[in-house]
Chains A and B, each alone.
Chain A
């Protein structure tokens, strides 16, 4: 059974850096073709893709957020970490960790999401 769980701060201040961790189980991020990504959703709004990292450390970023995002993996801990710099109130929302069973971009598995607020 595949599970993904997001963790991180519930509130950050504007201009701060957000660090989110996805702890996963049920698959290995060392296996060929495997990857993990992040999606976010502002309250009452649409989904937005953020980043994706493959087993071979190949990384993909949203073109509009590329300069603010960094995605890394720690295969020994079964973790993927997303950092987003210069947080703004518009970045408030639920952040989901995702995993495709077949291949990106079909996102079969989702974490429960973690709500992050940005406010001074």
Chain B
């Protein structure tokens, strides 16, 4: 099971919007609406930000949104804030009833 493909890094200025892509295959991202996104600050456990492609858990800012087209999912963060600087990971359910993560994206607020 190959990892999902994410850009190694993205950056943006406060107030701007950024988008992180997550590319899989027709056996994972393209096959199911079970894509999740996690935020991880240094030394902390990951936090669920988006589930089932575009749903936000209670308490997650509406500045975070998710979408999917074909085999690629995306996480958009609007109105960038300093506290958004973190690593972001996507994940997807797979046709082998397993879970696969992306390689992670380091998001820097300039």
Interface residues of A (CB under 8 A from B): 39, 45-49, 52, 60-64, 96, 101-102, 104-108, 110-113
Q: Closest Cβ of chain B: how far from A54's Cβ, in Å?
A: 11
Which partner residue on chain B sits nearest A60 by CB separation? B97
Interface residue? B109 (CB, 8 A): no
Interface size class of B (residues with CB under 8 A): 20 to 34
The residue from B45, B52, B104 contacting A46, defined by CB atoms under 8 A apart: B104
B51 touches A106 (CB 8 A): yes
Residues of B within 8 A of A52 (CB): 99
Q: Report the bound CA distance from A45 to B48 in whole Å.
A: 18
**Which residues of B come within 8 Å of A, CB atoms?**
1, 3, 34, 36, 38, 45-48, 51-52, 57, 89, 91-93, 96-104
Contact across chains for A46 and B48 when beta carbons are under 8 A apart: no
Beyond A62-B98, A110-B46, A111-B45, 18 additional contacts (C-beta under 8 Å) are A46-B89, A46-B104, A47-B46, A47-B104, A48-B101, A49-B99, A49-B100, A60-B97, A61-B98, A62-B1, A63-B96, A105-B93, A105-B99, A106-B48, A106-B51, A108-B48, A110-B47, A113-B45
Chain B residues within 8 Å of A62, by CB: 1, 98
The answer on a CB contact under 8 Å between B45 and A96 is: yes
Complexed CA–CA distance, A111 and B44 (Å):
10
B64 to chain A, nearest CB (A): 14
CB distance from A105 to the nearest CB of B (A): 5
**Nearest CB in chain A: distance from B28 CB, A:** 11
Q: Please judge, given known A-B contacts A62-B98, A63-B1, A63-B96, whether A102 and B46 are in contact too, CB under 8 Å.
A: no
Report B-chain residues with C-beta under 8 Å of the C-beta of A102.
51
